[in-house]
Amino acid sequence: MDEEYDVIVLGTGLTECILSGLLSVEGKKVLHMDRNDYYGGDSASLNLTQLYRKFRPNQTPPTELGRDRDYAVDLVPKFIIASGELTKILVHTDVTRYLEFKQIAGSFVYRDGKISKVPSTEMEAVRSPLMGLFEKRRAKKFFEFLQGWRDADPATHQGINLDRDSMKTVYEKFGLEPGTQDFIGHAMALYLDDDYITKPARATYDRIILYTSSMARYGKSPYIYPLYGLGELPQSFARLSAIYGGTYMLDKPIDAIVTDADGKFVGVTSGGETVKAKQVIGDPSYFGGNGGDGGKVRVVEEGKVVRAICFLKHPIPGTEDSDSCQIIIPQNQVGRRNDIYIAMVSSTHNVCAKDIYVAIVSTIVETDKPELEIRPGLDLLGPIYDKFVDITPLYTPTSSGQTDNIFITRSYDATSHFETVVEDVQDVWKRVTGSDLVLKKRDVEVQG
């Protein structure tokens, strides 16, 4: 390991793989290392053997679950928003040639004890059981206002200034009820909590338009998902990096992050050898999260996420027998501060054996009894064949990395999509290269 690299990347999570792929395309000499013997880090998809090894080391997977190789179980439950930022990166880098996508069949919201489809057009709003007759009229006017908005045409603004007026003001103008605000803010704008209501309405407007335009692209839901699981995403970006000369090493424990007398990054030691580079990028577990980096803490814990991976032998009741779906339980519905998410996929997506459904229930931990917090989500699933619960810390880097050339990514949050992952990619890219990440626009092919 005598050569010197421009950048060493530690961990093969999606954030790190996108960055190593993009940096390789830019002509940087990249070395990518991971302590695991598989790609994906915290965003991996595991087969049955790997899943049981992680959660129940002393237990063999039951034979009735089928073949090991039929499984690719995501550790982090996220879907791709069809018109979102991750799609733009996939298309810009041409990584789509390594992947096949399938639609997620439905987007649902929990309200007053029942699951209902999230309306995304004026027509669906009018038919939705989520609202009474008069509320439907108000909601229809609200959606027409959003779809009709043109920045340059004050006649479309109806006296509202999106950059100054809060979302609360907008809701009040249209007289929308709290329950309607709930599904708009949480199931369409996809906010985890209600903090957005007091902030300027522009961000919420952008998020709702993203949802409705994604919905319009492929029909059934605003989400797409890669066949064979989310672990395919980091692997595809790793391929991209390799094509442009990136070097990959799996199963390499990292012994130390080496710095000089001024604390600036010099290299990484693995198996007694030190490899040098100008910069290092890595996930928090290599820099003090989980005790990595020799006890030197470069990250701070901001909270925890609880996730329960559940194997079912039936679709989720009340979802029109969908082979895949997202269900959002807005926090107000269950007396919480943060929403509960359910993401469900099945053998249609080549991630489990036939007639098995994989549902992952997740939320941000608020008490000392995390498993009780996801109970409202688990209760919607019907009989659960098996369940694996994971509680993961959410880490944030303590510094920008510009002084010591050590750039740390953030943990995968509790959101149900990849928009925040891309924000982190853009943020780290700017800190590492000093310039904004610029992408071109094309279209993604999706199977029917």
Q: Give tens-digit pLDDT for 53-64.
A: 999 999 999 999
The residue type found at 335 is G
pLDDT higher than 70, residue 141: yes
Q: Which residues contact 369 (CB under 8 A, 6 or more apart)?
A: none
pLDDT band per the 50, 70, 90 thresholds, residue 445: low
**Mean local confidence (pLDDT), 307-334:** 95
What pLDDT does residue 311 have?
97
**Mean local confidence (pLDDT), 16-41:** 94
What pLDDT does residue 27 have?
93
Please, what is the average pLDDT of the chain?
Answer: 92
pLDDT higher than 80, residue 441: no
pLDDT band per the 50, 70, 90 thresholds, residue 128: confident
**Mean local confidence (pLDDT), 228-240:** 95
**∠ CA 167-170-172, rounded to 5°:** 110
Higher pLDDT, 162 or 221: 162
pLDDT higher than 90, residue 235: yes
**Mean local confidence (pLDDT), 114-121:** 84
What pLDDT does residue 69 have?
92
| pLDDT single digits (tens) 276-300 | 999 999 999 999 855 544 446 789 9
What pLDDT does residue 79 have?
95
pLDDT band per the 50, 70, 90 thresholds, residue 123: confident
What pLDDT does residue 119 have?
79
What pLDDT does residue 225 have?
96
Share of the chain above pLDDT 90, in %: 81
Q: Are 220 and 214 in contact (CB under 8 A)?
A: no
Q: Are 43 and 234 in contact (CB under 8 A)?
A: yes
CB atoms within 10 A of CB 273: 12
In this prediction the pTM is 0.91
What pLDDT does residue 3 have?
79
CA distances from 232 to 38, 46, 103, 228 (A): 11, 11, 16, 7
| pLDDT single digits (tens) 392-415 | 999 999 999 999 999 999 999 988
| pLDDT single digits (tens) 164-201 | 999 999 999 999 999 999 989 998 999 989 999 999 99
Q: Are 330 and 180 in contact (CB under 8 A)?
A: no
pLDDT band per the 50, 70, 90 thresholds, residue 127: confident
pLDDT higher than 90, residue 129: no
What pLDDT does residue 288 have?
80
pLDDT band per the 50, 70, 90 thresholds, residue 220: confident
pLDDT higher than 80, residue 2: no
- CA-nearest of 298, 285, 324 to 74 is 324
What pLDDT does residue 289 have?
58
- CA-nearest of 55, 2, 10 to 31 is 10
**Mean local confidence (pLDDT), 417-429:** 94
pLDDT higher than 70, residue 80: yes
Q: Are 60 and 253 in contact (CB under 8 A)?
A: no
pLDDT band per the 50, 70, 90 thresholds, residue 249: very high
**∠ CA 77-82-83, rounded to 5°:** 125
SS (H, E, C) 260-314: CCCCCEEEEEECCEEEEEEEEEECHHHCCHHHCHHHCCCEEEEEEEEEEEEEECC
Determine the Cα–Cα distance for residues 126 and 135; give it in Å rounded to an integer.
Answer: 9
pLDDT band per the 50, 70, 90 thresholds, residue 274: very high
